[in-house]
Structure 1
Amino acid sequence: MALSEDHIALAAEYALGTLDAGERAQVESMIADDAEFAGVVQAWEFRLASLNQMVGAVVPRPVVWENIKAAIGHSTEPQAPPVLPERQVPPVLLEQQVPLVLQETPPPAPPSAPPQFDLGEIRQAIGDGNVIELSTRVKRWRRIASMASAIAAALLVTLSLQVLQPDALPNALRPKPRIQTVEVKVPAPALTPSSQYVALLQGPAGGPAFIMTIDGATKNFTVRKVGATSEPGKSFELWLISDRLPQPRSLGVIGAGDFTARPVLSGYDPDVINGATYAVTVEQAGGSPTGQPTSAPIFTGKLIETVPGGSDAPPR
């Protein structure tokens, strides 16, 4: 609660001890109900406690104590102690008194001895057959454990020999040799230049119209237009003429560009290619419709070897 100046003054008077009995009871009730008021009272007690130390002890006169005794009704003369009347026991109770007999407590029994087991009785109870069977099983497991230990030791010795001394083992137990393949990259050999063949295809008036080049290794040929002029609606067609073939073979139409390349000679024998005559005829646009020349050749020529094959070939 909010403390006023009256509450603070009341707490100070309580600490000084100047309140009467009713007021002190009221203050003690407030201390029990209000913690804040109790703190104020305690603070005043701390402040006023030093006053008791500042005042010396005062011994009252003997007459003061006598006056106090007289005021409360006590006399200073010694009084005899009061005598209490004797208690009389009724005769009925005296006749009914029974002597009290205490019964002796028997001593505690000594601890019993631990039970003793007779092995013979146990065997008779469970049967000798069960004991023998259990003993047999124990022996059997011991033998199995011994065999397992021996096998493990043998495997350990075998593995050690395989790692350290494989030659001491039989062939069946020796580890297989490891084959490691090492790839060695060998530089590719230098390409051997192949032979080159050239044929000048020219007409009766002289002067090359086409230059035909053949690679001796791949049998691919290239035709270069030099002085020939195609007619409108017509095409130049290249032919292979050999005495080993019954009829001329078409090598295709020569294109309108400066260079025309064909791989069609791969199916012919080298002797046929080297000894053949190459001719050009004028055909309708797109080539001969019958697969045979429709007119006489206007440009012809034979191959000559310009670059021989092998390592001794001159640089190109």
Structure 2
Amino acid sequence: MAYSEDHIALAAEYALGTLDVDERAQVETMMSVDKDFTAMVEAWEHKLGVLNQMVGSVEPRPEVWEKIKAAVGHSEPQAPIVLPETSPPAVHQIEESAAVLERSNVIQLSGSVRRWRSVATFTSAIAAALVALIGIQLFQPDWLPEGMRPAPRTQRVEARAPAAPAPSAQYVAVLQKDGGSPAFILTVDGATRNFTVRKVGAAADPGKSFELWLISDRLPRPRSLGVIGGGDFTARAVLASYDTDIVNAATYAVTVEQAGGSPDGNPHSAPVFTGKLVEAVPSAAPPRAPAR
């Protein structure tokens, strides 16, 4: 149902509580017979309820109640006014009645203007309150009651699997005697320079040990890389202390030493098996940027 501007203003002022007794009775009568008008009043009460939540109650001063009681006590019912019978109205009486009617229309129009000014003021107040409420929810949510605080937001971060490291170059040396069958296979990782010696066809005599040496023209003497163990594989990390160029270009030799290796860090026999590193697996090339 379409309602006039006066009806909408009455509903708003009823929700706000600024109507007099007669106007409130008029609104309540309409609400009792018109459910759509009741819904409109309830909608205004919901909109204006935000203002009520943000303003605390104020207790009237005691003297206010005393003045009300005094005013009610002094009021006396007035006797009905009996008008004497008059003759038909004269022309000037008709003119006066028209003037009264015109003033009444002006008063009604002024009341409508005043009511809509009030509605505009209330609407502006609601908008300001909503803006303030949104600002408080964004920047100071702790100032609000528990039920009006925004729900905490969580940001979902997708975990990315770490990029697999690019494979490093691998170097291999076959340690053998005079081009014969391989005795040991030496493998060196190009990135970490850790090495592994695999025993292939050599066997040490009782009371003796095989010891691995690094021989380079950039070093004053051979450097021991440790005793080769009795198992099939022996791993060491001692090459990390040497320069990459020395590691890649050196000659690797195996000597026969006393059990447990050389006692003074020097070889005590001629090299039995020797070999040099060759690149067996190249390092992965860095990814190229896409062409634009």
Compute the TM-score of the two structures, normalised by the length of structure 2.
0.46
Choose between structure 1 and 2 for higher RCO, CA contacts under 8 A separated by at least 6 residues.
Answer: 2
Q: 1 or 2, which has the higher helix percentage?
A: 2
Who wins on radius of gyration, i.e. which is larger?
Answer: 1
Compute the TM-score of the two structures, normalised by the length of structure 1.
0.43
